[in-house]
Amino acid sequence: MKRTDQKSGAWQFRQEHRKGVFFVLAVICLMGAMTFVGMSVDLGMITVTKTRMQAAADAAALAAAQEIVVAVRDASWDSESGLDMDAVQTAAAADARAMAVYVADINGFYLDPNVDVTLGRRLLAGDGVSYTESWGTGPFNCVKVDIRKTNANAEAPDAKLRLIFAPMAGERTQSITTTATAFIESRDIVCTLDYSSSMNDDSCMSTATINRLTKASVEANLDAIWNALVDSDVRFSNDSDTKKFPSTGFGSLNSAVGTTNNSSSLNAIIALGLYTPEQNYYDDWSLNTSGSDYYYTAADGYQYRRYTQGTYNGQLRRAAANSTSWTTVDETTAPGYFPRIEESAIPFPQEGKSSSTGLRLGKPSVATSKSRWLAYADYVRTNSNLNNQGYRYKYGYRTLMVYLMESRFSNSQSEDLWRAPCYPFHGMKMGMDTFCQFMTDLSYGDNIGLVDYAVEARIESGLTEDGADATVNLGTDLMSTRYQDINTIQKHKQAGHYSSNTATGDGIAKGIELLNSNGRYGAQKAILLMTDGQPNIYPTGFSLPSDWDWNTLLDYDDNGTADYTTSNMASQYALYQAKLAADQDIVIHTLCVGAGADTALLRAIAKISGGYDIIVPAGTSVAAQELLLREAFGVLAGQVPPARLVVAPE
């Protein structure tokens, strides 16, 4: 029994000892649990803080980059100095930094604008997917914002995050940094331009043009066209000694107003010295009574006789008045003798081109020049617009310029009209010049291409035309940053360059085709559509699809009813192409100029695709019109996309 009690006491001791171990283990476990909870709380706080900082960085970067967007969109083109991109970028950079600081501050975080806001360039590479970045160099289209909590000074606005439980493990603060980058994406823009012959209308003498621009303004523009052609000093391709447009004019066609002659076409060009018919030896001589020898009485009183038979056959002899004594004379010195006059003509000042080779035909022959001068004379005699403005029968520089623009407008007929300021076409060319210069100065990696349309549309791939003073070969760079090459191509075009009419729908279709074949995957795609008229060409058999819904597509004010409809098939085709563009996320910006432009249609095209529509008023002068067109093209060049964030790869 005693042993049993001893065992029982030992057992009791061991049980009490084990109770102490459990207490210690419990304390250790509790401390571990508390540490784990503390770490979880601190980690959660770090995560929440970092999430807030990232959101603030994203917002600050977007807002800062949008300041650059606003600055570029508001950038103004000056008629004398052009676009001062350096000034635009300097102001945009300052605004971007200030905006980033402001947005970070309202979200409760500190930014040092000179350290935490970095500006640079982010350009889409040729593969359309990857990007190249460079920091600190402009022109800026990219903003990186770093929000930091890394300062060891606990009182600093960017102090490290103070932890709650971590001090138990020796960590009192945590450094956190977040970064966000926002940029303006690159664009692929197709400039789709109206090359119809109506783009000469503001330089011609229609009643509508005169009423709008005044007769004096149109006359001044016609004089400028003539002077430009004279100043170009262009020569015939096969006769470098002969000027096409001499400053002295052509015969009696030697003034702006012109020489008046109301004769028939043939007599008029003869009287003006534009054409001289052939004159034979005997044209001013009379046959004798036997119908053989020719007689002519000269101013010197002598009678001249050309023998056609007998002993003196082929000779020229003369006799004094009332004398029968004839003596042989030297034909080249005989008073009153007029040698044979060959048919001749002043060369018509445009060569034209071969329809098969596209090469210039050379200085027009006598027969060709006669034919063209006759056509010009007939135009001056019969054209109602010239008659209404008092220019009927007036053969001068002004009527000749109108004739070329109205009747021989294509480059295959008049190869030099691209050299002259014919409106509104010249205003459009100067607008495109501004556009290309804007894109050059902007240097955001935007690609552009060129499509023109008249009877049909075409994608321009270079400049190889005979008679141009430059050559361009775009090769595979139909969409590229070769802005000045595109500019060179378009500057060598003229209204009605290929044909007349206005195939607006086909112009949009070719623009879509070019973007689909040569556009980049990561670029915003846009078409800049310009016209001065109304569509009048569409494919045979075209009709709108059965599911076409005017009320859905063109309800501007959301009242359930379309604000624009049309029954014109050519206009419907243009709208249909605009819808196809919108379905492919292609934005169409429209620009229409002049009193004849269908502004309602162009607005509808822009609305369907979410683009801008700009109307350039007809204006009171061609100079004012050119300025407005330059400004309009500058505005469209500056319509860069809204800023967006760079998404970090997962």
pLDDT of 596 reads 79
Non-local (6+) Cβ contacts of 496 within 8 A are: 195, 196, 197, 199, 200, 409, 410, 454
CA-nearest of 202, 211, 195, 226 to 622 is 202
> Within a 10 A sphere around the Cβ of 648, how many other Cβ atoms?
8
3-state DSSP assignment of residue 119:
strand
pLDDT in tens, 263-276: 999 999 999 999 99
Tell me the residue type at 477.
Answer: D
Non-local (6+) Cβ contacts of 296 within 8 A are: 284, 285, 286, 303, 304, 305, 306, 336
Task: Copy the structure tokens of residue 649.
Answer: 């790869």
Q: Assess whether pLDDT exceeds 80 at residue 459.
A: yes
Task: Copy the structure tokens of residue 113.
Answer: 């604008």
Q: Assess whether pLDDT exceeds 70 at residue 593.
A: yes
pLDDT of 412 reads 97
Q: 188-198+420-640 belongs to which homologous superfamily?
A: von Willebrand factor, type A domain (3.40.50.410)
Share of the chain above pLDDT 90, in %: 66
Apex 359 CA angle, 358 and 363, nearest 5: 135
Banded model confidence at residue 77, pLDDT cuts 50, 70, 90:
low
Q: Please list the residues that pair with 161 across neighbouring strands.
A: 174
> Within a 10 A sphere around the Cβ of 75, how many other Cβ atoms?
22
**203-217, 289-303, 358-372, 391-405: range with lowest mean pLDDT:** 289-303
Instruction: Give the C-alpha separation, 459 to 444, whole Å.
Output: 23
CA-nearest of 509, 446, 451, 482 to 189 is 446
For 20, 208, 350, the CA distances from 414, given in Å and listed in that order, are 113, 25, 5
pLDDT in tens, 117-142: 999 999 998 888 899 999 998 899 99
Q: What is the largest CA-CA distance in the chain?
A: 198
In this structure, the strands spanning 524-531 and 187-194 are: parallel
Tell me if 196 sits within 8 A of 376, measured CB to CB.
Answer: no
What is the Cα Rg of the chain in Å? 42
- For residue 508, how far is the Cα from the chain centroid? 14
Tell me if 294 sits within 8 A of 285, measured CB to CB.
Answer: yes
Mean pLDDT score, 482-504 = 96
3-state DSSP assignment of residue 124:
strand
* Cα distance from N-terminal residue to C-terminal residue, the chain: 78
Q: Assess whether pLDDT exceeds 70 at residue 41.
A: no
pTM: 0.83
Banded model confidence at residue 79, pLDDT cuts 50, 70, 90:
low
Q: Where are the domains of the chain?
A: 49-181, 188-198+420-640, 233-277+343-415
Non-local (6+) Cβ contacts of 633 within 8 A are: 431, 432, 434, 435, 438, 591
More confident residue, 290 or 441: 441
Banded model confidence at residue 316, pLDDT cuts 50, 70, 90:
confident
Banded model confidence at residue 85, pLDDT cuts 50, 70, 90:
confident
Tell me the residue type at 116.
Answer: D
Banded model confidence at residue 650, pLDDT cuts 50, 70, 90:
very low
CA-nearest of 424, 405, 413, 426 to 493 is 426
pLDDT of 392 reads 97
Q: Assess whether pLDDT exceeds 60 at residue 259.
A: yes
pLDDT in tens, 218-248: 999 999 999 999 999 999 999 999 999 999 9
Hey, what long-range contacts does 300-303 have (CB within 8 A, 24 or more apart)? 300/335, 300/336, 302/335, 302/336
3 state SS for 135-203:
ECCCCCCEEEEEEEECECCCCCCCECEECCCHHHHCCCEECEEEEEEEECCCEEEEEEEECCHHHHHHH
**449-463, 479-493, 502-516, 619-633: range with lowest mean pLDDT:** 619-633
- The whole-chain average pLDDT of the chain stands at 88
Banded model confidence at residue 20, pLDDT cuts 50, 70, 90:
low
Tell me if 508 sits within 8 A of 578, measured CB to CB.
Answer: yes
Q: Assess whether pLDDT exceeds 90 at residue 382.
A: yes
More confident residue, 594 or 260: 260
Q: Assess whether pLDDT exceeds 80 at residue 168.
A: no
Mean pLDDT score, 317-341 = 72
> Within a 10 A sphere around the Cβ of 304, how many other Cβ atoms?
22
Mean pLDDT score, 324-343 = 69
Q: Assess whether pLDDT exceeds 90 at residue 300.
A: no
CA-nearest of 534, 462, 517 to 194 is 534
For 196, 202, 250, 255, 608, the CA distances from 222, given in Å and listed in that order, are 19, 10, 17, 12, 39
pLDDT of 173 reads 83
Q: Assess whether pLDDT exceeds 80 at residue 407.
A: yes
pLDDT of 608 reads 96
Banded model confidence at residue 37, pLDDT cuts 50, 70, 90:
low
Q: Assess whether pLDDT exceeds 70 at residue 484.
A: yes
Banded model confidence at residue 1, pLDDT cuts 50, 70, 90:
very low
For 70, 227, 294, 418, 640, the CA distances from 289, given in Å and listed in that order, are 96, 57, 10, 61, 92
Banded model confidence at residue 306, pLDDT cuts 50, 70, 90:
confident
pLDDT of 28 reads 60
Q: Assess whether pLDDT exceeds 90 at residue 413.
A: yes
